[in-house]
Amino acid sequence: MTASATTETTIGFIYPDHAAEDDYPYAAELLRPVEHVRLEVTHIYGTDLHAVPELLDLGSPERLAAGAAQLAPASPDAVVWACTSGSFVYGPDGAREQVRQLASVAGVPASSTSFAFVHAAQALGLERVAVAASYPQDVAGLFADFLGAAGIEVLEIRGAGIDTAAEVGTLEQEAVLDLAAANDHPDAQALLIPDTAMHTLRWLGALEDRIGKPVLTANQVTIWEGLRLLGQRVTHPALGTLFGA
């Protein structure tokens, strides 16, 4: 579905701290001429450690409610919690409740990056994937469990052991490409890169060329999920296989 030329669709994103949020205005510039989409990003703040207690705090109802309140003046048509680890750390049931509460306080459809990965994988018919995770191994394992609960088999996942989102946000293109290549599996149908703190949108073509298969990245699937919530099917060649025709 394509938005009409006279109607601008607004998707709100609650983004933790600061790292790779410039992926969103980049995507908005790509999408706006075709889809009249506005991507509105607000920030909430907490300790940016990739550790379970800190991630549970980061994704708490109070923090997400504050993010929804900050987005309210923009009148978003949908809201997405733009954080993977701060959603999957709750487990499937807890993450569903997190999204339910966010939708309730925002008054619009809501989702999170963890569910974005599940829905994107299902849309592409993926059953077996590899994961290039920036997290410590214990946190990376929780993402594999989350995918597994949705029927998506993780063939390869090794946490890179990067402790903070801020550090992930400093990774340059070659480092991201190398991380992706080091974590692929020959039997995986796609590679998933789950951290919204990692810059990836400008490098999706290079990533898919390097790996030779679809690559799903956190900010990519988060934007796609916001559009999915509104029933919009958008294509753009710069945004990878997920946004393909």
At 79, give phi and psi (nearest 5°): -130, 140
Domain ranges in the chain are 9-116+220-240, 124-217
Q: CATH assignment of 124-217?
A: 3.40.50.12500
C-beta atoms surrounding 94 within 10 Å: 14
- Judged by DSSP in three states, 129 sits in strand
Q: Is beta strand 128-133 parallel, antiparallel or unpaired with respect to 153-159?
A: parallel
What pLDDT was estimated at residue 34? 65
For 25-81, how does the pLDDT look when each residue is reduced to its tens digit (9 = 90+)? 999 999 877 667 899 999 999 887 888 999 999 999 999 999 999 999 999 999 999
Domains 9-116+220-240 and 124-217 fall in the same CATH topology: yes
Amino acid at 68: A
Q: How far apart are CA 112 and CA 80, in angstroms?
A: 5
CB 1 within 8 A of CB 232: yes
For 121-171, how does the pLDDT look when each residue is reduced to its tens digit (9 = 90+)? 999 999 999 999 999 999 999 999 999 999 999 999 988 888 888 889 899
Q: How far apart are CA 238 and CA 205, in angstroms?
A: 7
Q: pLDDT above 90 covers what percent of the chain?
A: 84
Q: CATH assignment of 9-116+220-240?
A: 3.40.50.12500
Q: How far apart are CA 181 and CA 176, in angstroms?
A: 9
Q: How far apart are CA 135 and CA 143, in angstroms?
A: 10
For 75-88, how does the pLDDT look when each residue is reduced to its tens digit (9 = 90+)? 999 999 999 999 99
When pLDDT is cut at 50, 70 and 90, the band that residue 3 belongs to is very low
Q: Is beta strand 215-217 parallel, antiparallel or unpaired with respect to 190-193?
A: parallel
Q: How far apart are CA 38 and CA 9, in angstroms?
A: 6
